[in-house]
Amino acid sequence: MVGYDPEAKCVSSVEAAAAGSASGLVTRVLISPLDVLKIRFQLQIEQLSSRSPGAKYHGILQAVQRIFQEEGLVAFWKGHVPAQFLSVGYGAVQFMAFESLTKLVHNVTSYDGRDSCVHFACGGLAACTATVAVQPVDTLRTRFAAQGEPKIYHSLRHAVATMYQTEGPRAFYRGLTPTIIAIFPYAGLQFSFYNILQQFSEWVIPAKKKRYYESNIKNLVCGSCAGIISKTLTYPLDLLKKRLQVGGFERARAAFGQVRTYKGLLDCIRQIMLEEGPGGFFKGLSPSLLKAAVSTGLVFFWYELFCSLLCALKSTDSPARREG
């Protein structure tokens, strides 16, 4: 189970960072198509209905078919290089910070490091730390996933140079405010609900009765459920972040329908409410929930698996070192 446990945890902060990086890398490869779909829906101004003639995408299957026909299979991995930098960096910082914070809380305060409230606070703080560290890469990922044909950015280097020259360094941190506001409760809820579901599963099926593969499946299911709950509760802030991140990028969005320019977070909220209604804040929710279920489940699954492998390697090395 993630979080500091003096009786069971055997990974250091550095090993937690390594496991988090590996988890992020493997997960990103598998969920990239869902991420592209989510971003396309989030950035579409028109109503998500086949009765709306201006809407390019009406549903998940229709969007998949249209993207494949117009842009080819590789379109589902647009922005994959910056997305991998994002996942590897984010996973490393988040899990290293989370393990360190839960250990600090356990050692310095009277709170148990395995408590769900501690997981909420430490998970939120760890995610905020990771977000600030990788925000420029997240902005690049969003722009690559958002652009159609012909491409505005031809490579990661070209994108960085163009954004810096035309929009300045602040462009890389667009959408940071709603990101920070959203990521704390989102990640906090992820970790706390994962912890709650893990404890519930232990109550239903004691650990001694579970086989190894059953524990892995349990981690996947608990992570998926935690991802769905946390994403649903914090989704509007994720949409606001995406809208703000593509500011100044309107010409690349022209092929997808209407575009808007937002002066800031409050102006973005106002325009969406006036033009798209309350439902506008939940555009792309279906692919987003699908992505959240898959990605969060896989992240916790791979993280727990890599931590278990590291612990196993350390336990096998210890006797050899003692004999030497």
In CATH, what number is assigned to the domain containing residue 211? 1.50.40.10
What is the pLDDT at residue 7?
56
pLDDT over 90 percentage in the chain: 28
pLDDT at residue 324, as a whole number: 47
User: What pLDDT, on a 0 to 100 scale, did the predictor assign at position 190?
Assistant: 94
Report pLDDT for 211.
62
Tally of domains in the chain? 1
Residue 1 falls inside a structural domain: no
pLDDT tens by residue, 264-317: 889 989 999 998 898 888 887 887 888 889 989 999 999 999 988 888 887 776
pLDDT for position 269: 92
pLDDT tens per residue across span 74-97: 888 887 777 788 889 999 999 999
In a domain, 323, yes or no: no
Decide if 103 is inside a domain. Answer: yes
Residue 58: give the domain boundaries: 13-314
SS (H, E, C) the chain: CCCCCCCCCCCCHHHHHHHHHHHHHHHHHHHHHHHHHHHHHHHCCCCCCCCCCCCCCCCHHHHHHHHHHHHCHHHHHCCHHHHHHHHHHHHHHHHHHHHHHHHHHHHHCCCCCCCHHHHHHHHHHHHHHHHHHHHHHHHHHHHHHHCCCCCCCCCHHHHHHHHHHHHCHHHHHCCHHHHHHHHHHHHHHHHHHHHHHHHHHHHHCCHHHCCHHHHHHHHHHHHHHHHHHHHHHHHHHHHHHHHHHCCCCHHHHHHHCCCCCCCCHHHHHHHHHHHHCHHHHHCCHHHHHHHHHHHHHHHHHHHHHHHHHHHHHHHHHHHHHHHC
The rounded Cα 219 to chain-centroid distance in angstroms is: 17
The pLDDT, as a whole number, for residue 98 is 94
17 domain residue, yes or no:
yes
The predicted model scores a pTM of: 0.71
pLDDT at 23: 93
pLDDT at 298: 93
* 2 in any annotated domain: no
Task: Indicate whether 321 belongs to any domain.
Answer: no
Query: Does 266 reside within a domain?
Result: yes
Query: Which residues of the chain are under the pLDDT cut of 50?
Result: 320-322, 324
- What pLDDT sits at residue 138? 83
**Residue 3 forms part of a structural domain:** no
